[in-house]
Amino acid sequence: VILKTYLKERSPEPFSIGRHTVALIPGDGIGPELLNHVRELFRFSCVPVDFEVVHVNSSSTSEGDINNAIMAIRRNGVALKGNIETNHTMPPNHKSRNNLLRTSLDLYANVMHCQSLPGVQTRHKNIDIIIIRENTEGEYSSLEHESVSGVVESLKIITRNNSLRIADYAFRLAREKGRRRVTAVHKANIMKLGDGLFLQCCKEVASGYPDIEFDSMIVDNTTMQLVSKPQQFDVMLMPNLYGNVVSNVCAGLVGGPGLVPGANYGRDYAVFETATRNTGKSIANRNIANPTAMLLASCLMLDHLKIHDYANMIRGAILTTMNETRLHTADIGGQGTTSEVVQSIMRIIQSGGPLTTEI
Amino acid sequence: MILRIIKILKVLGIGYRIFCYLTHTFLSIQTVTLIPGDGIGPEISTAVMKIFEAAKAPIQWEERNVTAIKGPGGRWMIPPEAKESMNKNKIGLKGPLKTPIAAGHPSMNLLLRKTFDLYANVRPCVSIEGYKTPYTDVDLVTIRENTEGEYSGIEHLIVDGVVQSIKLITEEASRRIAEYAFEYARNNQRTSVTAVHKANIMRMSDGLFLRKCREVAENYKDVKFTEMYLDTVCLNMVQDPSHFDVLVMPNLYGDILSDLCAGLIGGLGVTPSGNIGANGVAIFESVHGTAPDIAGKDLANPTALLLSAVMMLRHMGLHGYAKKIETACFDTIRDEKVLTKDLGGNAKCSEFTADICRRVQDMD
């Protein structure tokens, strides 16, 4: 205790032994309120995590805010964020802040695990798909120009390095999680060079993992298969834009944007958020948003920080509320409010042991 | 002697042509170019012709082949007879075409698209009663820009290991497709048009597309206009497709979404499709494959081609016949007594066709 106090007086930044500091970017729409719930829950459960809050103003044209956020993430290594809105009325050189964050920190892998939850009514059952999406290049390179008036060219960049990197990540993850098959999604019959290169890289990496089956599917057929027989997919690997489409389709299949957490991993940094990255402007500040996705994202973050006990405790409480208590928010057909769901989770955590503070 | 015979034949020939002309004018029989296609193409085309005959639809078919040939200058093109027929008739019905892998020529569909400037691909997706899928209330139309966008085919190898694909969006094409979408909505009593885009990421290209849609929307105040991100559309589509009406979008998103919607109603075997070109040309087609494994065995399902033909009738203004044939087709499927294998039954193509013909005749 003496050492702790001594060190606290010496250094200006928040410093605690055994505690982690994580950057928190509230974003817009439902981001701030959901992240407040996360902090409330962490405080209640005595999770050893402190947050360094960085606000990003989506209507400002300067890149000062987003650069501060990037610096904070570099400092802390890990972040939890809400979605930052991209204002259409801004000129085209005003890039998406979320995209800037991902490319500056080289968060090359976006991972989303879609699982059917027994407590949620959906048309399809038994879905268990891991989607791995290349997160930095492809169609999201933000390289556009108007060569002649009325003619705009947008460049989609595919590189061998990034394709090999994401394919390697996918196979390693598949092996780690004991998955049997990786499916690459592409449109190489039309984009022969671009997606052709991506597919070739996937095949090369696949040859180094003979224990894992590898196949490929064209993106339009993939979406058709997903809405008729999603159970056939195991791990899916794809470039940026198709990743956007497929992850949203899968999120819709398991119950909607309020349920699935997402993670963006780079070599040195990791940022956690909801999988479908919605701002949710129309439901902001009405206490009706589903906190599940953001709370599960915070559990993924705790797992990343290797504080598994807390992660499992919170995750268990969330799933119990979802599947047993069946306290649902409006987006999945229930009538609960956001705060009611969070309270229920806290009650379950409290009944699980003496670790908590007062509600 | 021979000269006399030739003379008589010539007179008969002219006479025949005059007869045709008179029939066309007074009985308003329209000629449609029919491209049976490959694999199961010929048998399903025959099925459609039989059903049209049973319905006494005023359509005369002109069959043409579109296997690519090398024209002067070494460029691949479709046979001149086919081109001439299409330009004359303006309306075409096409079965599935196979694209051989190492043929050296581009896909036939691409060639047709370029030849007739087929800029709009229209796919109405309506849930078919009797063919159960997890989605029962689908009733939407996807209108996809079919000439540019991500499928411009312009790709470069910049340096070893770095490839650049160019997505082209032009003001002209965007305006044209937006106008077609609103016209379609108006002519078919649809209430809203939604532009699907990713202008938050592709600020300039999709931004241009969106701007053009907004401009055209100003001239069609009777139709509601909304815009939605591609990912939001996908998310909402698989949860509740009843929210969507007419969707208009650039090439790639259109490709993905139209196949997604086809999946919602049961797949490509029951989805109609139409391609609208400049100069009034329109080619309606089935979008499934040639199914070489069942070709010639009387097992194919002609529904997709039939529904495309119905779409064609509506395009030509023959709504009565369209309704009759469509109702007969849906009734047969709903009845579930005579269904082809892919629909869950074990009837032959000819039996399925005969059932529809019978229903059509009973309706008169």
Asked whether residue A13 carries a pLDDT value surpassing 50, the answer given is no
A355 vs B9, which has greater pLDDT?
A: B9
pLDDT at B22: 61
Secondary structure element (H or E) that encloses residue B124, with its range: strand B118-126
Instruction: Work out whether strand B282-286 and strand B59-63 pair parallel, antiparallel, or are unpaired.
Output: unpaired
Asked whether residue B167 carries a pLDDT value surpassing 80, the answer given is yes
Residue contact B203–A142, C-beta within 8 A:
yes
Residue showing tokens 């008036």: A149
DSSP annotation of B149 reads: B
| Fold designation for B29-97+109-121+266-363 | Isopropylmalate Dehydrogenase (3.40.718)
Q: Which of residues 213-232 of B touch A (CB under 8 A)?
A: 230-232
- Band of pLDDT at residue B100, cut at 50, 70 and 90: low
- Band of pLDDT at residue A76, cut at 50, 70 and 90: very high
Q: How far is CA A268 from CA A86, A107, B46, in A?
A: 26, 8, 63
pLDDT at A15: 47
Q: Is the pTM of this model over 0.90?
A: no
- Band of pLDDT at residue A80, cut at 50, 70 and 90: very high
Asked whether residue A177 carries a pLDDT value surpassing 60, the answer given is yes
Q: How far is CA A147 from CA A137, B160, B202, B204, in A?
A: 22, 25, 16, 12
Secondary structure element (H or E) that encloses residue A203, with its range: helix A194-207
A198-219 pLDDT, tens per residue?
999 999 999 999 999 999 999 9
Residue A68 three-state SS:
helix
What residues does each domain of chain B span?
29-97+109-121+266-363, 134-265
Residue contact A150–B171, C-beta within 8 A:
yes
Q: Which of residues 126-185 of B touch A (CB under 8 A)?
A: 133-135, 150-151, 153, 155-157, 160-172
* A339/B105 Cα distance (integer angstroms): 62
Secondary structure element (H or E) that encloses residue B94, with its range: strand B91-94
pLDDT at A11: 41
* A104/B131 Cα distance (integer angstroms): 49
Contacts of A241 in chain B (CB under 8 A): 198, 252
B114-161 pLDDT, tens per residue?
889 999 999 999 999 888 899 999 999 999 999 998 887 789 999 999
Secondary structure element (H or E) that encloses residue A129, with its range: strand A128-134
Q: Decide if domain B134-265 falls under CATH 3.40.718.10.
A: yes
Q: How far is CA A12 from CA A6, A49, A71, in A?
A: 12, 18, 17
DSSP annotation of B1 reads: -
Q: What is the CA radius of gyration of chain A?
A: 21
Q: Which of B244, B246, B169, B148 is nearest to B211 (CA)?
A: B169
Residue A184 three-state SS:
strand
DSSP annotation of A78 reads: E
- Band of pLDDT at residue A10, cut at 50, 70 and 90: very low
Residue B323 three-state SS:
helix
Is residue A152 within 8 A of residue B208, CB to CB? The reply is yes
* B341/B344 Cα distance (integer angstroms): 5
- Band of pLDDT at residue B172, cut at 50, 70 and 90: very high
Asked whether residue B277 carries a pLDDT value surpassing 70, the answer given is yes
Residue contact B167–A155, C-beta within 8 A:
yes
A136 vs B150, which has greater pLDDT?
A: A136
Secondary structure element (H or E) that encloses residue B54, with its range: helix B41-54
- Give the mutation candidate from B127, B136, B164, B231 for the A interface (greatest A CB count, under 10 A): B231
Asked whether residue B241 carries a pLDDT value surpassing 80, the answer given is yes
Q: Which of B204, B236, B239 is opposite residue A92, by nearest beta carbon?
A: B204
Give phi and psi for A312, each to the nearest 5. -65, -35
Nearest residue on chain A to B288, judged by CA atoms?
A221
Contacts of A277 in chain B (CB under 8 A): 231
The mean per-residue pLDDT over the stretch A140-169 comes to 92
Say yes or no: do domains B29-97+109-121+266-363 and B134-265 share a fold: yes
Rama region for B112: left / alpha / beta (φ>0; ψ in -120 to 50; rest): alpha
The mean per-residue pLDDT over the stretch A13-34 comes to 84
Asked whether residue B247 carries a pLDDT value surpassing 90, the answer given is yes
Asked whether residue A3 carries a pLDDT value surpassing 60, the answer given is no
Residue showing tokens 């409290």: A350
Asked whether residue A12 carries a pLDDT value surpassing 50, the answer given is no
Nearest residue on chain B to A196, judged by CA atoms?
B163
Average pLDDT, chain B: 89
* B22/B41 Cα distance (integer angstroms): 32
Q: Give per-residue burial for A141-176: e unless 16+ CB within 10 Å, then b.
A: bbebeeeeeebbbbbbbbbbebbbbbbbbbbebbee
Residue showing tokens 């005023």: B58
Percent of chain B whose predicted confidence (pLDDT) is above 90: 68
User: DSSP labels for A280-334?
Assistant: -GGGTTTT-S--HHHHHHHHHHHHHTT-HHHHHHHHHHHHHIIIII---BGGGT-
Q: Which of A246, A235, A177, A242 is nearest to A206 (CA)?
A: A235
Name the β-bridge partners of B62. B33
Please, which residues have CB within 8 angstroms of residue A244's CB and are 6 or more apart in sequence? A133, B198, B230, B231
Of the listed ranges A137-146, B261-270, B350-359, the one predicted with least confidence:
A137-146
Instruction: Work out whether strand B246-249 and strand B192-197 pair parallel, antiparallel, or are unpaired.
Output: parallel
- Band of pLDDT at residue A96, cut at 50, 70 and 90: confident
Asked whether residue B75 carries a pLDDT value surpassing 50, the answer given is yes
* Chain A nearest C-alpha distance from B215 (Å): 14
Instruction: Work out whether strand A213-218 and strand A235-238 pair parallel, antiparallel, or are unpaired.
Output: unpaired
Asked whether residue A136 carries a pLDDT value surpassing 60, the answer given is yes
Residue contact A227–B164, C-beta within 8 A:
no
B221 vs A357, which has greater pLDDT?
A: B221
Asked whether residue B363 carries a pLDDT value surpassing 80, the answer given is yes
- Band of pLDDT at residue B103, cut at 50, 70 and 90: low
* B95/B283 Cα distance (integer angstroms): 10
pLDDT at A157: 93
Terminal-to-terminal C-alpha distance of chain B? 51
Nearest residue on chain B to A191, judged by CA atoms?
B153
Percent of chain A whose predicted confidence (pLDDT) is above 70: 93
- Band of pLDDT at residue A359, cut at 50, 70 and 90: very low
Residue A353 three-state SS:
coil
Residue contact B163–A155, C-beta within 8 A:
no
Q: What is the signed CA dihedral for A54, A57, A62, A64, rounded to 10 degrees? A: -10
Secondary structure element (H or E) that encloses residue B333, with its range: helix B319-335
Residue contact A187–B166, C-beta within 8 A:
no
- Beta-strand (E) ranges in B147-250? 155-159, 162-170, 192-197, 224-229, 246-249
Between the ranges A193-197, A262-266, B154-158, where is the mean pLDDT highest?
A262-266
Structure tokens of B303?
């529904």
Q: Which of A72, A127, A130, A133 is nearest to A104 (CA)?
A: A72
Percent of chain A whose predicted confidence (pLDDT) is above 90: 79
Q: Which of A153, A220, A276 is opposite residue B259, by nearest beta carbon?
A: A220
Domains located in chain A, CATH noted: 16-112+259-352 (3.40.718.10), 123-254 (3.40.718.10)
Q: How many residues does chain B have?
A: 364
- Give the mutation candidate from A110, A145, A154 for the B interface (greatest B CB count, under 10 A): A154
